[in-house]
Amino acid sequence: MSLEYLDDVAVHYADGTLLLEQCKSALAHNPLSDWSDDLWKTVANWLDAVETQKVDGSKTSFQIYVTPPKLGKLSEAIHAATDAEEIEALIKQVKDKLKKRVSAPKCIVSVQRFLEAANALRLVVVSKTTFVAADADPVEPLRELLRPTVPEASLDVICASAIGQAKEAADKCIRRKAPALIGVAEFRKNFHAFIKQNNMAGYLPTFTAAPSQDVAKALLINRPVFIRQLQLIRASEEQQLRAVSDLLRTSGDKVKWADQGLVFDGTFEDWEDALIRKHDATHSEVQEVYSGKSKEAQGRIVYGRCAAMDVPLDSRAVPGHFTHGGFNDLADRRKLGWHPEYQTLLGEEDKK
């Protein structure tokens, strides 16, 4: 499969055939109405793609997917036309409708592209063009595929992951300036691994990918409080970038888990209290055992020990980044710190 490469979506089958798909939202307008620019521009683009041999017309089919469901007389006629005689009737229908108009529609250039195309070219494209406009919720077909093997409570979680994994795979290709091609075998392996992990009792799955280096470095430059806390103990830039990444992912997971009903109100507060208690115990131990070291070194030891912890949330295991992100979130809110005198030092910085 590819995204935004040959079309919005293209399915590359093992036998060399292709399905090009345009995906249209019908929330604000009807993309299948008789003179919709979405409709006719898409048809014109497909004619161009075949004529310029961007795709092999003999091995390619075409589809417009619309949600929620909408209809149009001309789009229905295009969908139904599968041979030369039916396409001639379609052409007549289009011309008759144009004659009845007081003025030309905005999509007239694309319509003329269709009307003036060579018969053979028009037959190749139109005879294999279909429209799918049956889903009020575009995620529901995916839910239907998963329902036989996935508990109902986990359906939306797993669907969100499938969509997110596909988008992340495509984004990685785009960042490498490569075509956004997603291999079925690799995607299936990763998706199956996620389902297996998500269905494990007592495990909370992550829904957030690590931010790019550019995003992390941009936040680093702004020096939020949790970064200032790390700089007080002279943490390395690598440690600071990891803190940025894990905090952002933890914040995203909190929102997703709450939206999906995986975590109840008050659970995060109890979990944060547990982190603060563990931090305080670690801080006291380090001060006693490493009293001969500098305060910056003591802070690095405390931070290192806290960063290595995995603290369950409501007795459920969490992803590897989550506890570390939680500690940095608390540091950002000044509920804990790494340097023994972090409150005083941060206060002095605030005054500058």
Q: Residue 24's closest CA among 35, 10, 38?
A: 38
- Per-residue pLDDT of the chain (352 residues), as tens digits, is 888 888 888 899 989 999 999 999 988 899 999 999 999 999 999 999 999 999 999 999 999 999 999 989 999 999 999 999 999 999 999 999 999 999 999 999 999 999 999 999 999 999 999 999 888 898 888 888 888 767 676 778 778 878 888 888 888 887 888 887 888 888 888 777 776 666 555 667 787 888 988 999 999 999 999 999 999 999 999 999 999 999 999 999 998 888 877 787 688 999 999 999 999 999 999 999 999 999 999 999 999 999 999 999 988 888 899 999 999 999 999 999 999 999 999 998 888 7
Query: Coil, strand or helix: which one is 7?
Result: coil
Q: What is the pTM of this model?
A: 0.57
pLDDT digits (tens, 9 = 90+) for 188-232: 887 777 766 665 556 677 878 889 889 999 999 999 999 999 999
pLDDT digits (tens, 9 = 90+) for 57-81: 999 999 999 999 998 999 999 999 9
Residue 63 and residue 20 in contact, taking contact as beta carbons nearer than 8 Å: yes
DSSP 9: E
Q: Residue 126's closest CA among 63, 217, 193, 191?
A: 63
Question: Which residue matches tokens 């290709």?
Answer: 173
